[in-house]
Structure formats: structure tokens, C-alpha cells
Amino acid sequence: MIRAISPMMDGAAPLLPETSAQSQQRDPAGAKKRPSATTVIPAVASAVVLLGLAALFLVYGFHDGGEGRAVSPGTVEVAASSSRGVVEGVSEKSTAPALRLGGGGAVREYAWTNAMLSWQRTAFHFQPPNNWMNDPNGPLYYKGWYHLFYQWNPDSAVWGNITWGHAVSRDLIHWLHLPLAMVPDHWYDINGVWTGSATQLRDGRIVMLYTGATEESVQVQNLAEPADPNDPLLRQWNKAEANPVLVPPPGIGLTDFRDPTTAWRSPADSAWRITIGSKNREHSGLALVYKTEDFLHYDLLPTLLHVVPGTGMWECVDLYPVSASPAVEVGLETSTAPGPGVKHVLKASLDDDKNDYYAIGIYDGEADTWTPDDADIDVGIGLRYDYGKFYASKTFYDPVGRRRVLWGWIGETDSERADILKGWASVQSIPRTVLMDTKTGSNLLQWPVVEVENLRMHGKSFDGLAVSPGSVVPLDIGKATQLDIEAVFEVDAAAAVVTEAGAATYSCGTGGGAVGRGWMGPFGLLVLADEELSERTAVFFYLVKGADGNLTTFFCQDELRSSKANDLVKRVYGSLVPVLNGENLSIRILVDHSIVESFAQGGRTCITSRVYPTRAIYESARIFLFNNATNVRVTAKSLKIWELNSAYIHPYVD
């Protein structure tokens, strides 16, 4: 058993001292020597070193020096202040505006080394061989293969020249790259083959509807079908001669009409329905509904599927059924009719803030409208799939696994200059299964597909680790850049007797992150940390007791000290997470080089971060337990950590 090493002595500052987001370049450290044993061994002697380093930091701080061979800033020409995509009629595709906002108007350049940039490429998340990628498109299962299409720029690591990349897999993890599926080669999509969805008809036929940007940048909907339905790899696609099959209707802006959904059969007349996102002149987000028999001819229905004032343009709308019955813990086919035990999820990607919002409600198949169960958490004003970097998501029904699978685009939060230097930008999330949480009845559960567990190699268990207030516990696991972590925490119930001042106003974004100390938080794990803790990404819980005596639990992810680099967007993400009576606090974390995906309470709240360490890379990456609360004692009841293998994503070979 490891004893927690407290960095506090005689009232000295804690190991994670309270600082502001603006002081992120002066990362506190206070580190200790790592235990040398291969299993779990007490590390008492290291306390002296730990306290010594902490004391040195309090006096001198740390020197922020660079290591390795730097890439010359003069080799790359990029307009760091430029915006991408907005003029063309889609959401912002550059981090430059956010970097300008956080950096006082100028994008600062960090001296990245080749070693740092090479380390950032992921091992088991999907990404193309090189260049820019964004939205996942048309995922489906066909003749033994999972298919993923995606927005790709084959020429550059920045957005533009959008084509459809294509990959296939037997298990949603080990992907094989195929040739381009579709390119912008007609007047109706010459400015981009944008987001679309696949529908598999009952006779096995596949239709793909997608948005094209015309020569005049008008957004229109187009139809494509496999050239050879007998090819399980679907390597060739034919665009319909009738394209475009839909144009913006009256009252809809020419650049506010995009991203058709997977179609579903109406229970009213057995015809197909699709929905397309848009907005009105009052800046209300909305979803149009079309009826079709043949996917060539469409009727716009007189009622909107749904509209929410003030939410702006809805991109990448998704509508799908979920089981509301505890006895049916499987996904539902998209055309499942509404009725007892069935709810429908409506999701929209909000162009205004670049987040994916969802709500659970009732789809009326006769009126073709959807109504939220709770109007206070309607689409765009309530729950999100993910409270970090996650956008333009798309689900599909997997008939083999009888599950609903969710994909999400995980963009970069570094500078375009860095992306050009490394030669690529963006990854896809780990595919997640989606179920309704029948225990709360108010939210979804998202969880990595079970196939991820096939990547698990070496594992270690740490059970019953006590973490005292203000302490950090190192975990000796060996390599720490490709991990699957499952942790269950118990909190000393006696600590909940005091009502904390300011509890009603706490939030992850304004609470100081992992260094903002409270009575019952923060506590959790530090991943992608270096030995001295000058870099670390914190995944943590923060509990507060309100005036009504009830505990509220926040789940947060702190990137502020994830890297010494300064040309990054770093934030503290997170939100509330429901915790029912008798439940312990649980986290699952997937670490894959520059991406950290975290799931609390079985997936009730999820957070994804892109992080770019300069020191906590390769063999220097470490993991720690921490408790920066002032009074609560926390026990890691169960902690399991596996090193994950690479998915070895590569081109398909006949």
C-alpha cells in the first residue's frame, strides 16, 4: 500500500497551490522521486525529497527551458490570425480567434521540437494518414465491415478542399484506409463535399445524402449510392444525375441549410423522413422535416421538428430512439416507432459555441414533431454529449452489436502553425455506445465500445489507497501515454457536515481548476504529468454541500497546466454529474498521447481534452492520484490501470 505524501508542513503551501488561470506559465511543482519497484511499494523516504523540491519552488520557481531540436518558425508561412470556414458558410475551423482572445490579440509561437510533435500523434484513435480532418460522416455497418467516412483535406493540415475520406474496420478500432469516397467535382459540390448521413433501406440498398457547397456557396443536398453494392468495402460511389435533390426553401438562408440526417420510416404513412438543421431570422435554431418515397423527390412538411429560441444555427442534427425500459439495455434501430418504453434523443451541434447539445423527449410520428421531457434542459440550453473538445457528432445503429454508436470530431487546440509543422490536424473520438440512463431518467450514458478492451496489455491494480487532504500519490505503472484507467472513490462521509461558502456559485470553469481548494475537492487523477508536476492534466471531482444540506458533484478536467507551450487554448472543462444515493464516485479515463477522454459515473458526464505536453512525453509521462481538498479524506477504493496497445491503423491492401 502506498501512503500519500503530503506536501504540506507547518502550514506551508500545498503541492498544488492556488493560482489563477492567468498565471498558468508559472506551474507549481513540488515533486518526489518515483518508487523503483514494479508493483506497489511504500514511498516514505521520498517525502524528504518531495518537501525539499516544494520548498525550492516556493523560493526559486522553475526554469521553463526547452529540450530537443527546435523546429524553425521561419519554415512555415501561415496567417495565424485567420478565420476558416465562416465565410464559406460553416462553423469556425481555426483556433486562431480563440488564441487571439486568450493571448491578448497576438498568437505567440512556441519552439516545438520534432520529438514533441511526433509524440502527439495518437495510437488508437482514428485519424487519416495526414492533413486536416473534421466531421464524421455516414457511419454504417455493411457486409461484415464498419464504415467511417469523414471530412478530409487531402492537400493541407488546415481546413479547405473538403472531400470524403473513407476507412473500414472489423471491430471499430483497427481501421484500414481506403481511397477517397467522394470529391468536389460537380457544380453542386465544387466548394466542398460536406457532412452527410447513410440510410440502409430494407432491401439492403444504401443511400447517402450529403450537403454540397455550390459554385456560389449555396448549401444544397445531394444523393449518392454505391457503384457496386456487391463490394463490401463500398469503394466507388455514384452521384445522382438529379442532384441537387434539395435546395434551401423560402425563408431559409442560402448558407443555413446543411447536414441531412439518417432517414427513418414514419409510423404514420411508412414514407421516409429526414431532418436538416437551420436557423430563422430571429436566431432560433431549428430542424426542418422532409418526406420522401424515393430519396429523389421531397416534400417539406409544414411543421418544424423542433425550434429553440436563441440557439442559432443547428448543424449536424441527429434524431434517434433510445430504450426507456431498464429491461431493454440495447440500442434501437433508427426507425423504431415511438411508444411505451421508447424515447427519442434530439441533438444539435451549435454553431454559436461549437458544442453538441442533446435532450430526451417524445417524437410524435403523426405530427412529425418532437417535444423535450424537460423544457428547462431543451436542445442548446441543457445537456451536452461532452463538456470538452467534441463537436459535429453522428450516431448510427450497429445491427451486429444491437447498439447505438456515437462518433465525434475532436479538433485541435494548438495553433495552425503547429498543425502544419506536424502535418496533420484532428482525430475522431473513440466510438461510444449510447443508452438512456434509466436510473436517473434524464440523461444518456456514453461508454467506449467494448472492443477498446481488446487493446489492454499490462495492467496493475491499486486498491484501498488513502489520499489525505493536500497530498499527491505517485503510481508506478511504467509507460503512461496509452492508458485505460478505471477508478472508484469513497469520500469520508463525516466531511459532509459543513456547508461550504460559495457552493451555489461553483463551476468547473471558474473554480480555479485542480488548484482551487475547497472543503471536499478537488480530488482525482493527474495524467500526462512529468516527474516535477510542472505539466499535468487533472481529471477530478469537486463536491459541495449547499444550504439545503444536499451534496452536489462536479466532474471537471483541467488543462491549464497541461503544457509549457503558450500557443494553445487551455481551459477547465466540466459540469455537474448525477450521483444517486449509495453510489461511489467512478471515473474511466482513456489517455492516448494528445487526447484524454474521461467518463464519470458510467458515462453520465463526459469530457474530452486535447493536450500538448512538452515534458510529460515518452518515458517521462507519469500518473498520480491527488487530493487538493482542505478537509475531506478520500480513498481510491479500486484503481485499475492498463497500458493499451496501438491500433496500427494503415492502408487496406487487397
What are the residue numbers of the active site? 135
| Cα 559 from Cα 173, distance rounded (Å) | 27
Kindly state the cell numbers that stand for 16: 498544488
The candidate with the shortest Cα–Cα distance to 149, out of 78, 80, 208, 109, is: 208
Matching residue, cell 495492467: 459
Determine the Cα–Cα distance for residues 254 and 290; give it in Å rounded to an integer. 17
312-328 per-residue burial string, b: 16 or more CB within 10 A, e: under 16 = bbbbbbbbbbbbbeeee
CA distance 593 to 607: 16
Location of C-alpha cell 462553423: 91
Kindly provide the residue ranges of all beta strands, DSSP E only, lying in 411-505, ordered along the sequence: 424-425, 427-428, 432-436, 444-448, 456-467, 471-474, 482-491
Per the structure block, which three cell numbers stand in for 603? 458515462
| DSSP for 521-564, written as a single string | EEEEEEEEE-TTSSS-EEEEEEEEE-TTS-EEEEEEEE-TTS-S
Decide: 562 and 609 in contact? Cβ < 8 Å.
yes
Sign of CA dihedral 451, 454, 459, 461: positive
What spatial distance separates the first Cα and last Cα of the chain, rounded to whole Å? 52
Task: Return d(Cα 199, Cα 231) in angstroms, integer.
Answer: 17
- Whether the Cβ atoms of residue 361 and residue 375 lie closer than 8 Å to each other: no
> What is the three-state SS of 237-298?
EEECCCCCCECCCCCCCCCCCECCCCCEECCCCCCEEEEEEEECCCCCEEEEEEEECCCCCE
CA distance to 94, 452, 608, 614, per residue, from 99 (Å) = 9, 34, 19, 19
Neighbouring residues of 153: CB distance < 8 A, sequence distance ≥ 6? 131, 132, 133, 159, 160, 161, 162, 163
If DSSP states are collapsed to H, E and C, what string results for 22-40?
HHCCCCCCCCCCCCCCCCC
Angle at 607 between CA 602 and CA 611, to 5 degrees: 135
* Number of residues assigned to the chain: 654
- Alpha helix (H) residue ranges in 15-169: 46-60, 96-102, 114-119
CB 120 within 8 A of CB 128: no
Round to whole Å and give the CA distance between 481 and 465. 22
